[in-house]
Homo-oligomer: A and B are copies of this chain.
Amino acid sequence: MADIKALPFPFPLDRNAVALIVIDMQRDFTEPGGFGESLGNDVSLVAGIVPDVKRLIEGFRDAGLPVIHTMECHSPDLSDLPPAKQNRGNPKLRIGDMGPMGRILISGEPGTSILPDVAPVDGELVIEKPGKGAFYATPLGDELKAKGIRQLVFAGVTTEVCVQTTMREANDRGYECLIIEEATASYFPHFKAATLDMIRAQGGIVGWTAKLDDLLEVLSHA
């Protein structure tokens, strides 16, 4: 065990039971010209975290610790897409339609893939998820149990949607969850700030928040 400086109190890192989970660093959510931008979002805010997410991933790889990646996407036949998600707000472009980088949020399409700078390497678990949370309708829970993981370090986008939803699922399942402030972003900075506050409120009711360098400092000392 080694304590990482964190809020609301130090996080007791257990190298034998920790994994990094990087949420939805997909091209369509982060690249200019992608689906996210076509909805009117300023993707520069989320694209800006890529260097820090990369440093975090490399810190885990260098320490020989597991890295998990998630992608929000659906099967090409849309069998895992609830009508409530497909039709919400009667949008011009729906999931499964042809978008700027292939069919929107469909598994295997170019826009659905993870940004090259933070892409998975051989041997890393990649979870395709139909919801915002990575536990629902995926093998993530079983995979974590099989690996003996009890602690999850969170990064990715967007903070208040897929990251927060997955962190809340993990917290209910008994995982100790730590989110790295510089390695997560939202299209709306005030939502990111509020989410971090909610996570660490009431004695860490959802988990812990920490700065990237404070985690990397501990990771680099084996």
Contacts and interface: CB of A to CB of B under 8 A. Distances in A.
Given A160-B198, A176-B84, A194-B194, A168 B204 contact: no
Greatest chain B CB density within 10 A among A91, A150, A165 is at: A165
A132 interface: yes
B194 A201 contact: no
Give this chain's copy count.
2
B168 A89 contact: no
A205 B174 contact: no
A205 B133 CA distance: 13
A123 interface: no
A203 B173 CA distance: 30
A175 to B, nearest CB: 7
A154 to B, nearest CB: 15
Interface in A103-126: none
A60 interface: no
B133 A175 contact: no
A172 B132 contact: yes
A203 B83 CA distance: 15
A84 B198 contact: no
Contacts of A130: 172
Interface in A142-188: 150, 160-161, 164-165, 168-169, 171-176, 187-188
Interface string A176-217: 100000000001101100110110011111100000000000
8 contacts: A82-B174, A84-B174, A85-B171, A85-B174, A133-B168, A133-B169, A136-B169, A190-B194
